[in-house]
Amino acid sequence: MLICRQNFVRCYRKCLSSDVISRKYSSATTEERILKSSAPKIEDLQRGNFVNTIFKNVDKYWSRTAIECPESKLSFTFSEIADQVSRWSGFLKEFGVTPKDVVTIVAPNCELKRMLDISQSKFIIYSKDVEENISLALKEDINKYHLFCIGKSSKLKAHNVEDILYGKQSVSRLQPSEIVGEETCYIPFSRQEQNIIMGMLPFFHIFGAFGILSYGLLTGAKTIIVPTFSAEAFVTGIPKHKIMKGYLNNIKATNEMIRNGWAHTGDIGYYDEKEFFYIIDRTKDLIKYQGMQISPSEIETEIQKHPLVAECSVIGKPDDKYGELPFAFIIPKQEISADEIHKFLEDKLSSHKQLKGGIKFVDSLPKSETGKILRKKLREIII
């Protein structure tokens, strides 16, 4: 995703009965339908430079620890980070990287599945821990890319990033240049006592990149990072503004999401009287049954109440007559029949929400690196 100034909105519904919602919003103007945050307005990033913005307060935190990794025992102060950013920028310029080039970063906490041909990247920075994956992914195309290894490469012909950052290789430092506010940046209170942020979200995720890493650098907080998530690392490691311009090289997806200045996330949820938001589903996951939209999460919640169900996921199964029918993938704790599940749901869900598409018992569900169930993979199984 490209990051730039843009309004951000989530689809939501008031936690009221449908008839109250209808009466309240049917005659409301567009402005009246917008729920505005009570938090102070965030200043737009229009001109200047992202690096300068993030490090604008660096003099206040010069000697503080900026990033720390409990696993490797490595840590870097804000002054060291600022110096390495300057060195790396200078090297990239000398190497021939231009503002319009895409540089791909592949590390243990990043997704290798991001297709390089979509981003049209020519430069790949990777951790030596994933060098074998890089080799397998690029195969015969490997000579098309300029490779940079974080550490000494043992297999591929790659520049050593550490030599550049730590001064072992002579490079000119580069000061950030001014921008107009439309350039691509990412493809996703201070007291005397330093704040600490747990960097447990992957940095390829928009919230990980901006809500955690960039925010920590901006506010002088120490960010605790780990290569991959583990409960042990999370426990031992303890002592948002999200904006997007569009999808890189994907005009269709950009136009579908950003309309009239609003970014439509496709989230469905509600907010309570204290204006706390609860996201319960996504529009693309809704099951379309005879013109009605069924929330798979609602069905999943009821299935999970069965004592012999360990985990489940519900999707829409294509049907010529009804459009889609609810279909469930279930991981049982022990042997159980589909008839038992159907009978269990009879008095808990209305007729059109029953599992008329069928039930499939499985040993596991496909998930992303962050643990999210991949409904797209499940659809491929039944189509």
Does 356 score more than 50 pLDDT? yes
| Structure confidence by residue, pLDDT tens digits, 151-200 | 888 888 899 999 988 888 878 887 776 666 666 666 652 334 466 776 76
Q: What is the pLDDT of residues 68-127, one digit of tens each?
A: 887 788 899 999 999 999 999 999 999 999 888 888 877 665 565 455 767 778 888 888
Could you give the 3-state DSSP secondary structure of residue 150? strand
Which stretch, 52-66, 269-283, 344-358, has highest mean pLDDT? 344-358
Q: Find the helix or strand (DSSP H, E) in which 92 lies.
A: helix 78-95
Helix (H) or strand (E) holding 103: strand 103-106
In DSSP notation, 132-144 reads HHHHHHHGGGGGG
pLDDT value at residue 290: 92
* Cα distance between residue 166 and residue 150, in whole Å: 12
- DSSP secondary structure string for all residues of 299-347: HHHHHHTSTTEEEEEEEEEEETTTEEEEEEEEEESS---HHHHHHHHTT
Domains of the chain (ranges; CATH) run: 9-35+250-285 (2.30.38), 50-237 (3.40.50.12780), 286-382 (3.30.300.30)
Question: pLDDT at position 12, please?
Answer: 34
Q: What is the pTM of this model?
A: 0.49
Average pLDDT of the segment spanning 64-68: 89
* Contact (CB, 8 A) for 116 and 104: yes
Burial 357-367 (b: 16+ CB within 10 A, else e): bebebeeebbe
Comparing 112 with 207, which gets the higher pLDDT? 207
Average pLDDT, the chain: 79
Q: What is the 3-state secondary structure (H, E, C) of 238-266?
A: CCCCCCCCECCCCHHHHHHHEECCEEECC
Q: What is the pLDDT of residues 292-326, one digit of tens each?
A: 999 999 999 999 999 999 999 999 999 999 999 99
